[in-house]
Structure 1
Amino acid sequence: MKRVLVLVFFFPSLLQATTLLEAVNAARRYDAGFSAALEEKKAGNEAFDQGIAGLLPSINLEGGYAKQDQPHVKYAAAVKRHNYSVNLNQPLFDLAKFAAFQRGSAMSDLADAEFIVAQQTLIRDVSDAFFRVVYQREVLEVAVSAIRVYGQQREQARAALRLGEGTRTEVDEAQANYDDAQAKEIAARNDLEIAGTAYTRLTGLIADGIEPVSSQCYRLTQQENMQQALLLAQRNNAEIRKASTQVAQARSNVVSATAAHLPVVNLQASYGGNWSRGEDENVLDNIFGTTSKTKNTLVGVNVSLPLFAGGGQLSASRETLNRLNQAKYALENTRRQVNQQTRTAWLNITNGRALLKARQKAALSANSKVKSTRYGRELGLRTTIDELNAEQKYYDAMQNEAESRYKYLSAGIQLLALQGTLDDPMLQQFSCHPTQISSSDRK
């Protein structure tokens, strides 16, 4: 009892099964790569403020103090000078700074798009690890059941051989099936351990806490036709958004390069004061201005016109145009890739649902065949080898059903990610309680 209490204290997750949504939320807190992506997004968003700062006025305060001494003279002895000024500079026409604002806005949008990609990637990776654990667990259960049944049949075949009612061939067949099941169990345990390690790396949770019925409780929404799925992907796909923001950033670079050929107009204003005073003032200090106090105000417009820069600006303009074309082609390539991947995922869901139902029926039929073959053997119409073959086909059918279910779920996750709708409400479609499974879903 003490050992159980210790396990409960240190591993409370053992008391409650982990749903897919809970696993994703755990990964958001635990995964270091996702945390790095979040910090990168925050840093990238600062580019917007930095860009808009160039369009706003800059104000600075300057001040100075100096002491000048001329020994052995009758004036300007130990003169102290003070000055201060407040300066303002406001761009009136500076296309380069406007381009910097556009670039900052595009970089901020790019940071958001990259973070959305990171979110979708995290959810997809956690979902794949989650369902792979469920799948490998089912494969292991099939292998363990097969070992148990084949072990019983092997002992029955040996007993029948000792009594003279069986053949050596039946014993060898049972032994071969038993050995094959053991090999499959070893492979299944290894694959389950690998899947659990991947799941733990992402979430920090133990794979034993995964909800065991989650693979039977999914509700995948399906678009009526492929065209609807494609339109949704083209509108919301995170990779397309990312490529679009890269095009916007390339356009701002073109504007910035163009601005190098245009004049820059700035409004400049300043207000300040100067005063000085000698230590031993006399008439000469007043005559030569050693002692003085002035205030000044300056308002003006500064115009700068570039004339020639060695051809570097022309080269930079050509470079930015080529970069813009590159970004446009990359965007089109991304659209085509998303289009192809969406078609594949949609077909995998459509055909995967039909295949899963067919695999389920095949497993039921294989189970019925095992029962009828066993009954036929008892009547002398079937042999032990026939029963062993039927058992083998039944366990193969169960494993095929589990594999079809895993591929169907993976296709659903893939389509949701491509359409940019892989969020928390969607993840709830993959989780439920056993009481929520309808009778039609159980069949």
Structure 2
Amino acid sequence: MVRFFRTTAIAAGLLVASNPVFADDLVTIMELAMRNDPTLRQAEAQLNANRTQLDMARASILPQANATFSEQRQNSGLAGDISYTELPASTRRYSLGLSQALFNLSSWYNYQGAKDAERAQILNFQAQEQDLIIRVATAYFNVLRAIDDLTTRRQEEEASQRQFERTQQREEVGLVAITEVYEAQAVYDLARNNTILAQDTLATSYEALEAITGQPHPNIDTLVDDFPAEQVEGDMERWVSEALNNNPQLLAARAAVEAQTEVTKARRSARLPTVNLQGGYQYVDSTANQGTDGSVRSAGAIEGVSLSVQVSIPLYTGHSLTAQQEQAEYNLVAQQEAATLARRQTTQNIRNAYRRVNTDALVINQRQQAIVSAEAALNAIEAGYEVGTRNIVDVLQSRQQLFVALRNYSDARYNYVIDSLELKRRAGVLTPQDIIDLNEWLTDESESATQ
């Protein structure tokens, strides 16, 4: 993870050091998310915990050593003897044991499987890192989406209020019927209600962003108006090939198959003999005992070294080895099917993402034109209303269509940004550099207003 995010951390530091910050930009928020996002921190802790499985598997093929020390003291005497005499004795024992597996295929295959399993875990964590980029970007641009939506809702409310007040004045002098006042008021009431809902949506969007970074972001940079929306470079099959070679979730599924294959080999080889080298050293020191006749008996010190080769062959284990082997084989089939499913889903997802980005680029251009057309239509209908060829309903509907076109255009821009990042994530090539590049298209409106 350190290597994956190092580019973002360095770049963010340079940006903060070189420019005065008036609002939080995308790189700053990403850097905060790297440190504070609980989902990523949990995934990192789980990765570190799972890595201990490799150490435990490696331990079974490494030398094992142990040392022991014991000391025994006892007092004894002749039973029934009136003149009881103690016979004290003590023994100290030191020993050192060493063992090394010379031939144990089951342990070796388990170790190889643990290495593949660790590789799968690292790849899954890389997928979590890329998911963080998507979550941050989605939350960030959802805030901007909600800001734009609230802006257009307020503009629509103000326009509806002006139209309502104007219609009231026209009705008071007898130029229009009371029904037009009712229609204008209904549109204004609905616009006011939509503004209230948009305010709540914006607050929710801010909360979602804060939940990732752990800090509030009341002021963030906005997307510039001339942000380019272009078709995806390269054909679809090139992106499919890229995804099949780089998608971390797919690579993790393949690594899991390799890990389970090694585990299956380990279960099959559990019936084979195991050969272990055993070595030991022992030192025993016994103190003297004084007998009833006053004599002294001493065992003295004894030491010895042993070396042996132990061969173990499992003959009958109550069919447990057979059951473990069958379980491993079934698990292997399950992992293989999971990898097949991951491959198909990756192919499907990358194709859908590719088409979605291209569609977004076309939609943005069309929605720009829709705004121009809606403005022209509204101007024409308002002119017709002034001369009596159009009614108030036509005006109200035309104005609503204009604001709908404005909101649709805003949605299309943010959809394009998020879908472009999602395409790279599906292909497995999404990196923090993409966030740094995207950040260049953001601007602080408060800073721009002062320049």
Matches within 5 A, 1:369-384: 369-375=377-383
Letter in 1 for 2:42: A
Letter in 1 for 2:319: G
Matches within 5 A, 1:171-182: 171-182=181-192
Asked if structure 1 preserves the Cα contact closer than 8 Å seen for 2:91 and 2:284, the reply is: yes
Asked if structure 2 preserves the Cα contact closer than 8 Å seen for 1:137 and 1:192, the reply is: yes
Q: Which of 262, 266, 278 is the matching residue for 1:252?
A: 262
Percent identity of equivalent pairs: 24
Match of 1:158 in 2: 168
Quote the offset at 1:221 in angstroms.
8.2
Asked if structure 2 preserves the Cα contact closer than 8 Å seen for 1:136 and 1:188, the reply is: yes
Counterpart check, 1:31 vs 2:41: no
TM-score calculated relative to the size of structure 2: 0.84
CA deviations over 1:259-297 (Å, ceiling 9, x no partner): 3201110111122322323144899766xxx42323212
Quote the offset at 1:43 in angstroms.
0.9
Quote the offset at 1:258 in angstroms.
1.5
CA deviations over 1:16-41 (Å, ceiling 9, x no partner): 32222322322232332322111111
Q: 1:106 to 1:285 in 2, by over 3 A?
A: farther
Letter in 2 for 1:409: V
Asked if structure 2 preserves the Cα contact closer than 8 Å seen for 1:214 and 1:431, the reply is: no
Moved more, 141-150 or 292-301: 292-301
Q: 1:68 to 1:220 in 2, by over 3 A?
A: farther
Match of 2:277 in 1: 267
Quote the offset at 1:137 in angstroms.
1.4
Quote the offset at 1:142 in angstroms.
0.8
Q: 1:291 to 1:215 in 2, by over 3 A?
A: farther
Quote the offset at 1:371 in angstroms.
3.6
SS in 1 for 2:65: strand
Letter in 2 for 1:55: I
Q: Which of 197, 201, 204 is the matching residue for 2:214?
A: 204
Match of 2:7 in 1: none
Asked if structure 2 preserves the Cα contact closer than 8 Å seen for 1:134 and 1:215, the reply is: no
Asked if structure 2 preserves the Cα contact closer than 8 Å seen for 1:240 and 1:335, the reply is: yes
CA deviations over 1:177-196 (Å, ceiling 9, x no partner): 32232232122222222222
Asked if structure 1 preserves the Cα contact closer than 8 Å seen for 2:381 and 2:398, the reply is: yes
Q: Which of 151, 154, 158 is the matching residue for 1:148?
A: 158
Letter in 2 for 1:417: R
Match of 2:95 in 1: 85
For the residues of structure 2 that align with 1:41 and 1:149, how far apart are their CA atoms? Answer: 56
Asked if structure 2 preserves the Cα contact closer than 8 Å seen for 1:45 and 1:109, the reply is: no
Match of 1:105 in 2: 115
Asked if structure 2 preserves the Cα contact closer than 8 Å seen for 1:218 and 1:430, the reply is: no
For the residues of structure 2 that align with 1:201 and 1:142, how far apart are their CA atoms? Answer: 27
Q: 1:98 to 1:283 in 2, by over 3 A?
A: farther
Counterpart check, 1:47 vs 2:57: no
The CA RMSD over aligned residues, in Å, is: 3.0
Letter in 2 for 1:420: G
Quote the offset at 1:364 in angstroms.
2.2
Unaligned runs of 5+ in 2: 1-19, 80-84, 445-451
User: What is the aligned length?
Assistant: 420
Q: Which of 112, 118, 127 is the matching residue for 1:117?
A: 127
For the residues of structure 2 that align with 1:163 and 1:72, how far apart are their CA atoms? Answer: 133
TM-score calculated relative to the size of structure 1: 0.85
Quote the offset at 1:356 in angstroms.
1.1
Asked if structure 2 preserves the Cα contact closer than 8 Å seen for 1:27 and 1:203, the reply is: yes
SS in 2 for 1:63: strand
Match of 1:278 in 2: 288
Q: 1:154 to 1:324 in 2, by over 3 A?
A: same
Q: 1:216 to 1:92 in 2, by over 3 A?
A: farther
Q: 1:249 to 1:159 in 2, by over 3 A?
A: same
Counterpart check, 1:20 vs 2:30: no
Quote the offset at 1:360 in angstroms.
1.2
For the residues of structure 2 that align with 1:342 and 1:229, how far apart are their CA atoms? Answer: 7
Q: 1:425 to 1:236 in 2, by over 3 A?
A: same
Asked if structure 1 preserves the Cα contact closer than 8 Å seen for 2:260 and 2:335, the reply is: yes
Q: 1:218 to 1:29 in 2, by over 3 A?
A: farther
Letter in 1 for 2:99: N
Match of 1:331 in 2: 339
SS in 2 for 1:85: strand
For the residues of structure 2 that align with 1:144 and 1:398, how far apart are their CA atoms? Answer: 13
Asked if structure 2 preserves the Cα contact closer than 8 Å seen for 1:144 and 1:185, the reply is: yes
Asked if structure 2 preserves the Cα contact closer than 8 Å seen for 1:133 and 1:207, the reply is: no
For the residues of structure 2 that align with 1:302 and 1:227, how far apart are their CA atoms? Answer: 58
Letter in 1 for 2:116: A
Q: Which of 408, 429, 435 is the matching residue for 1:400?
A: 408
For the residues of structure 1 that align with 2:74 and 2:212, how far apart are their CA atoms? Answer: 70
